[in-house]
C-alpha cells in the first residue's frame, strides 16, 4: 500500500519537475547567441548558419539514389555501416528574401569542411528575419567610407546607436503622438456627427458647431503636419546610413541601418559579450513589441494584456463570489432551493471553458455590448465599440468561469469559523450582519484568499474562451495608455496564453517560432507564480493576525 502511494507521488513529482525542467531549459537557452558555422558540402555548395538541432535517422538505398554524385558516394559509406544511422542537422540560414528558406537540413555525410569564419555576422532585421553574411562596405549618403570588414564594423558600431534611437523616436511618434492627434480629430468628427443625428444637417446648432469645429480641425491639422515633418526628417537622416553585406553564396545585399535591430560577429564574442547579447534579447522580449508576425521581438503587449485581464477578473469575481457564498451559508434558509443553487454553482466548474467563450460572445458582446453601443456610442456605429470582444468582456467571462472556485472556497472558510465565536458575538448584542462583518468575514479571510489565488491561477491560464471574447493576435493598442480615461475596457488585447498558441501553431516560420513558444511559456509560468506568491504572502499575514495561538 505504501509503495502504491509512494509510486503515485513519485510519478506526480516527475511529471511536474519534468514539465518545469523542460520549459525552463528550453526557455532559458533560447536567447544565448550561438556560433555561426560555415559548411562546405561535397558538391561544392556552401552554407552559413546557426545549428539549432540535430536528428538521427535510418538511411536507406532509396534516399541515396536521388543525391548528386559526390554526396552519394559518401552516403554509401554510411549505408555500408552495420547500423546505417545518418545524422542531419537543422541550420538557421536566414536570408529569406534571397534564398526563400529560413532553415536548411544538412546531412553530416554531405559535409566535407566545417569551420567558423572570423567575420561571420548575425543580423536581426525588422523585416524578412535574420541575415547571415560578411561585412563588405559601409555607405554614407551613397558614398563608400569603409571597405574592409574591420573598418565596416567600426563604422557600424559608431552609427547604429544613434540610428536606433531615431527609430525608437519614430516608432513613438507614429504610435502615440500621431495616434493622439488622430484621436482628437476623430473626437471632433464624432461630435459633429452626433449633432447631425440629433439636430439634423439643416439646424442652426449644426452650422455653428461646424464652424467652431472647423477651427479646431485646422489647429489639429497643423499639429499633424508638424509631426509629419518631424517624422520625415528622422527618416531622411536614418536613410543616409547603409551597409553592404555578402552572403555565403557571394551575393551582395544592401541593408539600411534602420532595418537592423541587432548585429554581432558571432564567432568573435567572448563570454561577456555573449551575455550582453543574451540580456539584451531578454530585455527586448519582456519590454518590446512583437515583430515578424509574433515570431520575433517582444511580448510586452501580451504581458500587459494578461496582467490587466487577470486583475479585472479578480476584481469582479472575488466580491461576487464572497457575497454569493455569504448568502448561501449565512442567510439562506436551508431547503431544496438552496441545495439546487449550490449544485448549479458546483456544476459550473465542470462546463468546458470554450462554452463560456461562446456565452461571453453571445451575451456580453452581442447583447449587452450592442445595447451599450446603441445608447452611448450611437455615433460610432456601425463600428462596434462594446459590441465586440474586449478586455472587459473577457474579464467578465473568465470571472464567470472561476466563480465556483471562489464560492466553494469561501463557503468552506465560513463554515470553519467556530460557532463559539459567533455565539459570543450574538451574546454581546450584535446583529447578524455585524457578526458577519466584524467576526466571521475577517476570520474567514485566509480561506477567501485561497479561493482568490486559485481563481487567479485558473483564469490567467485559460485561453480557449479568450479567443472568442477579445484576445487577438496583434493588438493595435494597449488597453492602458496615457489618454483619458486611461483604462480602455472596450479594446482588444493580447494574452500570453493566446500568444503561445499563435506562435506555436499559426506561424509561417514555425521552426523559428518554436523556441519562442518555450520562452513565452516560461514567462507565463513566472508571472503566474509571482501573482500567486504575492497572494500567498498576503494570506500568511492574514493568518497570523486572525488565527493567533490556540490552546
Interface with other proteins (CB under 8 A): 334, 418, 420-431, 434, 438-439, 442-443, 545-551
Residue 532 contacts residue 460 (beta carbons within 8 Å): no
Quickly count: other Cβ atoms within 10 Å of residue 504's Cβ: 16
Nearest residue (CB) to other proteins, 408 versus 445: 445
Gap between the Cα atoms of 213 and 215, Å rounded:
5
Q: How far is the CB of 442 from other proteins (least distance, A)?
A: 7
Q: How far is the CB of 170 from other proteins (least distance, A)?
A: 59
Q: How far is the CB of 431 from other proteins (least distance, A)?
A: 5
Phi (first) and psi of residue 89, to 5 degrees: -125, 145
Q: How far is the CB of 357 from other proteins (least distance, A)?
A: 42
Nearest residue (CB) to other proteins, 222 versus 544: 544
Gap between the Cα atoms of 58 and 79, Å rounded:
9
Nearest residue (CB) to other proteins, 421 versus 536: 421
Select from 379, 373, 374, 391 the least CA-distant residue to 187.
379
How do strand 241-246 and strand 130-140 relate by DSSP bridges?
antiparallel
Q: How far is the CB of 428 from other proteins (least distance, A)?
A: 4
What's the chain's length in residues?
A: 551
Gap between the Cα atoms of 178 and 375, Å rounded:
29
Residue 294 contacts residue 499 (beta carbons within 8 Å): yes
Nearest residue (CB) to other proteins, 2 versus 549: 549
Gap between the Cα atoms of 257 and 277, Å rounded:
18
98-103 CB contacts, 8 Å cutoff, 24+ apart:
98/247, 98/251, 98/253, 102/129, 102/130, 102/509, 102/511, 102/512, 103/49, 103/52, 103/511, 103/512
Gap between the Cα atoms of 446 and 105, Å rounded:
56
**Which residue's entry shows cell 479561493?**
451
Nearest residue (CB) to other proteins, 70 versus 330: 330
Residue 479 contacts residue 380 (beta carbons within 8 Å): no
Nearest residue (CB) to other proteins, 415 versus 428: 428
Nearest residue (CB) to other proteins, 344 versus 428: 428
Which grid cell is 535? 497572494
Q: How far is the CB of 415 from other proteins (least distance, A)?
A: 15
Nearest residue (CB) to other proteins, 127 versus 549: 549
Amino acid at each position: 500500500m505504501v509503495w502504491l502511494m509512494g509510486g503515485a507521488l513519485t510519478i506526480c513529482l516527475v511529471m511536474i519537475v519534468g514539465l518545469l525542467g523542460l520549459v525552463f531549459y528550453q526557455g532559458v537557452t533560447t536567447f544565448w547567441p550561438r556560433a555561426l558555422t560555415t559548411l562546405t558540402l561535397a558538391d561544392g555548395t556552401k552554407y552559413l548558419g546557426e545549428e539549432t538541432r540535430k536528428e538521427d535517422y535510418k538511411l536507406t538505398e532509396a534516399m541515396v539514389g536521388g543525391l548528386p554524385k559526390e554526396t552519394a558516394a559518401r552516403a554509401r559509406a554510411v549505408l555500408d555501416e552495420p547500423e546505417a544511422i545518418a545524422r542531419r542537422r537543422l541550420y538557421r540560414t536566414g536570408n529569406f528574401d534571397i534564398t526563400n528558406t529560413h532553415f536548411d537540413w544538412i546531412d553530416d555525410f554531405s559535409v566535407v569542411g566545417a569551420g567558423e569564419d572570423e567575420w561571420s555576422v548575425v543580423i536581426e532585421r525588422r523585416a524578412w528575419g535574420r541575415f547571415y553574411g560578411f561585412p563588405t562596405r559601409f555607405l554614407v549618403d551613397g558614398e563608400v567610407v569603409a571597405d574592409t570588414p574591420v573598418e565596416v564594423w567600426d563604422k557600424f558600431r559608431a552609427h547604429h546607436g544613434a540610428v536606433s534611437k531615431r527609430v525608437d523616436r519614430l516608432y513613438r511618434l507614429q504610435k502615440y503622438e500621431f495616434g493622439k492627434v488622430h484621436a482628437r480629430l476623430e473626437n471632433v468628427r464624432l461630435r459633429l456627427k452626433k449633432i447631425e443625428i440629433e439636430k439634423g444637417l439643416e439646424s442652426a446648432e449644426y452650422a455653428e458647431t461646424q464652424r467652431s469645429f472647423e477651427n479646431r480641425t485646422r489647429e489639429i491639422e497643423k499639429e499633424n503636419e508638424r509631426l509629419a515633418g518631424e517624422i520625415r526628417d528622422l527618416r531622411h537622416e536614418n536613410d543616409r546610413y547603409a551597409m553592404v553585406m555578402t552572403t555565403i553564396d557571394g551575393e551582395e545585399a544592401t541593408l539600411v541601418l534602420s532595418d537592423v535591430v541587432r548585429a554581432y560577429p558571432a564567432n568573435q564574442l567572448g563570454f561577456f559579450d555573449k551575455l550582453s547579447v543574451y540580456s539584451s534579447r531578454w530585455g527586448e522580449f519582456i519590454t518590446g513589441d512583437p515583430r515578424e508576425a509574433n515570431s520575433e521581438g517582444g511580448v510586452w503587449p501580451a504581458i500587459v494584456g494578461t496582467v490587466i485581464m487577470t486583475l479585472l477578473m479578480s476584481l469582479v469575481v472575488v466580491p461576487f463570489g464572497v457575497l454569493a457564498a455569504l448568502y448561501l451559508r449565512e442567510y439562506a434558509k436551508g431547503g431544496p432551493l438552496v441545495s439546487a443553487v449550490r449544485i448549479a454553482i458546483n456544476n459550473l466548474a465542470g462546463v468546458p471553458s470554450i462554452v463560456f467563450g461562446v456565452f461571453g460572445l453571445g451575451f456580453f458582446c452581442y447583447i449587452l455590448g450592442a445595447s451599450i453601443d446603441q445608447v452611448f456610442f450611437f455615433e460610432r456605429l456601425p463600428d462596434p465599440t462594446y459590441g465586440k470582444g474586449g478586455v472587459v468582456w473577457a474579464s467578465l467571462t473568465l470571472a464567470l468561469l472561476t466563480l465556483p472556485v471562489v464560492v466553494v472556497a469561501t463557503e468552506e472558510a465560513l463554515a470553519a469559523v467556530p460557532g463559539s465565536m459567533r455565539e459570543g458575538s450574538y451574546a454581546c448584542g450584535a446583529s447578524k450582519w455585524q457578526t458577519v462583518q466584524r467576526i466571521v468575514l475577517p476570520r474567514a479571510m485566509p480561506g477567501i484568499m485561497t479561493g482568490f489565488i486559485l481563481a487567479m491561477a485558473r483564469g490567467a491560464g485559460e485561453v480557449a474562451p479568450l479567443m472568442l471574447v477579445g484576445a487577438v493576435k496583434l493588438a493595435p493598442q494597449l488597453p492602458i495608455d496615457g489618454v483619458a480615461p486611461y483604462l480602455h475596457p472596450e479594446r482588444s488585447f493580447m494574452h500570453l496564453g493566446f500568444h503561445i498558441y499563435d506562435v506555436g501553431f499559426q506561424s509561417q516560420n514555425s521552426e523559428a517560432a518554436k523556441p519562442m513558444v518555450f520562452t513565452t511559456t516560461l514567462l507565463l509560468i513566472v508571472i503566474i507564480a509571482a501573482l500567486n506568491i504575492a497572494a500567498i504572502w498576503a494570506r500568511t499575514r492574514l493568518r497570523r493576525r486572525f488565527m493567533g495561538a490556540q490552546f
